[in-house]
Amino acid sequence: RGTSWTSHGFSASWRKTLAKAKISGLTFHDLRGTAVTRLAIAGCEVPEIATITGHSLKDVGAILDAHYLSRNTQLAESAIMKLERHDKKTKIPN
């Protein structure tokens, strides 16, 4: 409608959407946390993520450290591939 959400209006719409989708046990904060993770996996930097989600830089880092990145095999595999590419370029022995 061209205006910002009120906290009560968003909360009500969120509950209705979850009910319609038959989803339980999920909060808006879960959605934001998932967005933080997906943006990081896509290669976004912490300041970019914070701009999108509305978190502080510190909070984005804390979310990634505490809940997500340690469990993300896609990021681990990406890091290993980068290391291997780097080692091939610089010819550093194993």
Concatenated DSSP letters for 32-73? HHHHHHHHHHTT--HHHHHHHH---HHHHHHHIIIIIGGG-H
Report the alpha-carbon distance of residue 42 to residue 57 in Å, rounded.
Answer: 17
pLDDT score at 92: 59
Q: What is the pTM of this model?
A: 0.60
- What percentage of the chain exceeds 70 in pLDDT? 94
The arithmetic mean of pLDDT across residues 17-27, rounded, is 89
Q: Which of 75, 80, 18 is nearest to 44 (CA)?
A: 75
Domain range annotation of the chain: 27-90
What mean pLDDT do residues 63-70 have? 79
pLDDT reported for residue 91: 73
